[in-house]
Every structure is written in structure tokens, then in C-alpha cells.
A and B are shown apart, each in its own frame.
Chain A
Amino acid sequence: MDLHGVITGRVWRLGDNINTDLLHPPSYFSLDGRKVEEGLREGMQRLGADLREEHARDGLVIVAGENLGGGSSRETSVRALRTSGIKAVVAASFARIFYRSLANLGIPPLECRGIQRWVRDGDLIRISIKDGFIELDEAGRFPISPLDDHIEKILQCGGLVPYLRRMLDGI
């Protein structure tokens, strides 16, 4: 993906310690993409997401608090985010497996403190990874922690599978 452009989307706001079982209930583990996507809708409903169809059409950006994505390594939770068109995931801090899986599936995981309390579901958000900030209409700009070179490289390839393919092809 192009990390130089501006990502715009609608906020889906989450609290602290939202684990993968909450985000994507275990019974929706599947190899069937439709069922995996359905699991995310169930998770959104259980977590009380207040989003409308047009928000989803614009593309969503998760904005969460501390320790996002703890618990199970089931990658279906992140696959569901990818197929549902989540453009980026912003959190004050991430659980490690979830952080890696986001990058591995080509979704930028962005660390940013202090923004969570300024956003509501459906708010417009603009992210410039290159310039290192997130912009909100009313609350202004919030700095994001720079991505590690390794994570940036994986994201530029579009995820770990294309990264690996390039490596195997000797590019």
C-alpha cells in the first residue's frame, strides 16, 4: 500500500482492553469469508457500535484505547477487518499478536495517545502516516508514533504474504 497518501474514513470507537473474543466471537471462526465477516458484524453489535451504512461505505478506522486485541491469536478477527474494508487501526497501545497480524494483513496499526476521548462513532478522520499525525474536524491534530522500518516494509508490500513472495522471488 501507499503509505504516503492521506487515509480518510469514519471512526469506529472502542474502549480499553477490547480483546479478539469480543471483536470477533469464537463461534465465527471459519474458512468461509462470509461467516468471518458476519462475526465482525456480531462483534460490532455486541460492542454497541453506532454506525450507519453510509459510514461503512466511506470506510472505517478503528480508534481504540489501551491494549487493543488481546487474547486469542485467531487471525479471523483481523481477516474480518480486512474484508470489511477497515482502512487503519489506531490505538493507545496494542496487544502484540494483534499488532503483528494487522501489519501482516496489510492494515496499518497506528499508536496514538489521547485521541480516543475526542471521537465518536461516525466522525470523519484523516490520517497522514508520512507526516505522523491524525486530524479531526474539531479537535485538531494528534501525533502518531512512527512505524518501525520492518512494519513499514511489510505494509508497503501489502502484507506479509506479498513480502514473503518478493523474498522467495529474490526481489
Chain B
Amino acid sequence: MTSGFTGEIIKAHADGGREGEYLSVKADFVLLPDPMLALLLTDLRELGGHVWNREKVLVTVDHFAPPSTVEGANMVKRVLSFVEEEGIPHYSLYGGICHQLLVEGPWVGPGMVVLGADSHTTTAGALGCVATGLGSTDILYTLITGRTWLRLPEASRVNLTGKFPQYLMGKDIALELLGREGESGFLYQAVEFYDLQGIIPMDDRLALCNMVVEGGAKNGLFSPDEVTRSYLEGRNGPSGQWKWAFDEDPQYRRAMDVDLSSLTPKLALPHSPSLVVDVEETEGETIQQVFIGSCTGGRLRDLEAAASILKGKKVAPGLRLLVAPASLKIYQSAMESGFLQTIVEAGGVVLNPSCGPCGGIDKGILGTEETCLSTSNRNYRGRMGDPSSMVFLASPLTAAATALRGKIADPREVL
């Protein structure tokens, strides 16, 4: 079976139930962001169901954080009532984006099965677990039974080789893969990464696993190594489940290499994350808004990278720079390290940790024919605002360089 670590982990969680190609699989942890949780509460109540294990879920209010409409406010209200009624111990009100909070906390680690009611749940695979997104009704099933139905996917192995240049970030690697494989290149597959030199920081790994879903993947997974271990040991609370969960060599349907030393900064053109070109090919395109944030590009290394470029400079006249740290912890660290000071001095606006502009929810929605360069994961038509607006996706380094010039700029020119 060529389903990699993912297949081994799924099989290890199977409870013996089988229908067709689907196995009944036990879930180790479930992520519940506000809108998708709000959507399933009526059915949960009608079924008379309760959460199978209150310790194994994380509820986050991150989409409507804080709400900007009455409707959003009422959804948050429902979510908070649920937390209280069920006695959910792990929840976050405006503490950050679910995918970041999930990996910051002590709950998930290598070898686990993690499900989330949001497509970017794939992010957590950077810790060596099988993490995948599901719709609200699927999650309802898991909340009541502690299980889900999964097929064993085919797996692709991605070897990351060569030196990791200072001007590159995980985002560039993600865009390179999406450019090569297209929007459906990883359809239904597991994408498993091997950092052969153990040099890619966890924040970059998280960004990379976050975006595999843009190629259609079921999940992304980093083969656990010393970077994983030190991340798990260094985060809040207990180090989570650290063990080599994998006894046998995983098998793959195919393998591919990405030579980091020859990679250049990448950018996705409107309106697809897989419409990828070199940044230098689009240099000079006028940009009105730069957004640095989201579950892809709002981590500490992202803010540090942006600050390193903005230090002592000013953003271009008329350009709006919006920066949203992905969590309160990141916000505080970035404050203590002076990154936020640098960003504000350069003319940036620091938003509170939340999803915000990425899904066109609030704080930075685009108007008619406006252009935005964003460190987020999706530039589908209309996602960040008016259907005529244009969104380019790139790394925080490219975003900061672009903010200074008011036009798309290659970070190698300013580093």
C-alpha cells in the first residue's frame, strides 16, 4: 500500500468497522472554529447528542473575532453557550486563529489523527500527525461518536534538499509545488515532506502543510525529526505525544524533489493559488493593500521577516499595510521582540489575531478593482472582497518588500 505514514497512522486508529473502502477511525483531537461549529449545533441538539470527550476538542472564536455584524455576534453567542453547556475546558475567545492555537497547545503530536471543521486543518500535519478538514456534518458525527470514516489515500513523498536561502520561506516552497502540480495535482493524496537536512523552521513547515489543500490534498505531513522534537518540547505546557510512532518504512506512489538552493521567490497570480510565477516576472505591478497574517503567514517568523525588511523605512504613500499576528502568543512575542514597533513605525496597522481579511470577513475587505498582495492561502475571485478585486499570494518577505515600494517587489533587492 503506497499511502505513506498517513496510511500507517489511519490503520493504527481503525476500530475494525468498514464500509466499502472506508474505515471507521478513532479521532485523537477535534478542532472547532466558530462558524463551522455554529452550523452544526442545531443538528447536535436535535439528535440529543453530546461531545464524546470534552478533553479532546478545542473551540475557537477566530472568524468572528470580535464580530462585526449582529449575525456574527449571535453565532459567537451560540458557540459560547455550547462551551458552557458542554463544559468544554479548551476554548479560546479571540486568542488567535484555530490552526495556530491547535499547534501551540499541548494537544497534538506525531502519529495522531486530528480532524477539524475547516479545510486548513492540514496545517497541524507539520507536527507529524494526520490532520485533515471536514464539513460541519462530518464533524457532528465525530463529536458524538469520537470517530470518522476515512479512506487510505495514495501518498506523494516530497524531498526538500539543498541550502535554504535567507530570501525564501515555507510559502515559496508551497507555491512552487502548487505551480508544478496545479489546483488538483494532489487531489485526495497525502503529501509527506522530508526535510533531509533538518533546517526548515517549524513556522515554515506549518505554512507548507497549510497550503497542500490548495492542491487538493487530504493532508500534509512532515516526517518527525529534531525540529519537531524541539518544537514540541518548547511549546506551552506538556510536550504532547512525542514518540516515533512509525515502525516500518512508509511506501509512496511517487516521489519528487525540491532543491531549495535553486528556488527563487514565488507568487501566485489572481485568481488561483496554483497560477504561480517568479516574483521578478511581476515586479512593478501596483498594489494598494498588503496583508501579512492568516493561518499561513501570520507566525512569529513571518512577522520577524517582515520587520527585517521594514526596519527604519516607511511603506509607500497610499499603500495600506495590514498585519495580523496569528495568535495572542505570537502578538506578545512580536511585541517583546520589537517587530510590532517596527511595523507600526513603518506605517503598518496591527490587527488583533483573527481570520479577518483572508476570508473577506472584516478588517480590510477589498473594493472594486483593488489589488492586494497577501501572505494568506487563497486568492480565489471574490474571496477577499469585491469580485473584481485582484489578490496576489506571496511570502511575508515579498509582502514587506512590496509594501515599501507600493509595487510588487523581489525581497532579494531589499534584504
Contact = CB atoms under 8 A, between A and B. Distances in A.
B184 A67 contact: yes
Interface in B30-82: 35-36, 38-39, 42-43, 47, 49, 71, 74-75
Contact of B71 (A30, A78, A100): A30
B12 interface: no
Contacts of A75: 36, 39, 135-137
Contacts of B49: 168
Interface in A1-32: 17, 19, 21-22, 25-27, 29-32
Contact of A168 (B19, B21, B47): B47
Give 9 closest A-B pairs by Cβ, nearest first.
Answer: A149-B20, A150-B19, A67-B184, A101-B135, A148-B20, A150-B22, A104-B137, A21-B380, A75-B135
A100 B75 CA distance: 24
Contacts of A17: 183-184, 272
Contact of A97 (B38, B75, B134): B134
Contact of B39 (A31, A97, A159): A31
A72 B138 contact: no
A95 interface: yes
Given A148-B21, A161-B47, A165-B47, A96 B137 contact: no
Interface string A104-123: 11000000000000000000
B21 A150 contact: yes
B216 A26 contact: no
A67 B216 CA distance: 8
Contacts of A152: 20
Nearest to A163: B141
B153 to A, nearest CB: 9
Contact of B140 (A76, A100, A164): A164
A126 interface: no
A1 to B, nearest CB: 16
Interface of B: 19-22, 35-36, 38-39, 42-43, 47, 49, 71, 74-75, 117-119, 133-138, 140-141, 144-145, 149, 183-184, 187-188, 214, 216, 218, 272, 359-361, 378, 380-383, 387
B367 to A, nearest CB: 14
Given A21-B382, A31-B38, A164-B144, A72 B137 contact: no
A167 B49 CA distance: 12
Interface of A: 17, 19, 21-22, 25-27, 29-32, 46, 66-67, 70-76, 78, 93, 95-97, 100-101, 104-105, 148-153, 159-161, 164-165, 167-168
B184 A73 contact: no
A101 B184 contact: no
A161 to B, nearest CB: 5
Contacts of B149: 150
B137 A101 contact: yes
B119 A27 contact: no
Given A31-B38, A100-B134, A150-B20, A66 B141 contact: no
Contact of A161 (B35, B43, B359): B43
A32 B218 CA distance: 30
Contacts of B43: 161
A27 B387 CA distance: 11
Given A21-B378, A74-B36, A96 B216 contact: yes
Contacts of B74: 31
26 contacts: A17-B183, A17-B272, A22-B381, A25-B382, A31-B42, A46-B381, A67-B216, A71-B119, A72-B118, A73-B117, A75-B135, A75-B137, A76-B39, A93-B184, A96-B218, A97-B133, A101-B137, A148-B21, A150-B20, A150-B149, A151-B20, A160-B138, A160-B140, A161-B47, A164-B47, A165-B47
Contacts of B119: 71-73, 97
Given A75-B137, A101-B138, 11 more contacts: A26-B360, A26-B361, A26-B383, A71-B378, A73-B118, A97-B134, A104-B137, A104-B138, A159-B137, A161-B43, A164-B47
B183 to A, nearest CB: 5
Contacts of B387: 25, 46
B78 to A, nearest CB: 8
Contact of A46 (B135, B144, B272, B382): B382
Nearest to B377: A71
Contacts of B381: 21-22, 46
B118 A95 contact: no
B382 A71 contact: no
A105 B387 CA distance: 28
Nearest to A99: B188
Contact of A78 (B133, B135, B214, B382): B135
B380 A22 contact: yes
Contacts of A29: 35
Most buried by B among A17, A32, A101: A17
Given A67-B183, A168-B144, A160 B137 contact: yes
A78 B140 CA distance: 16
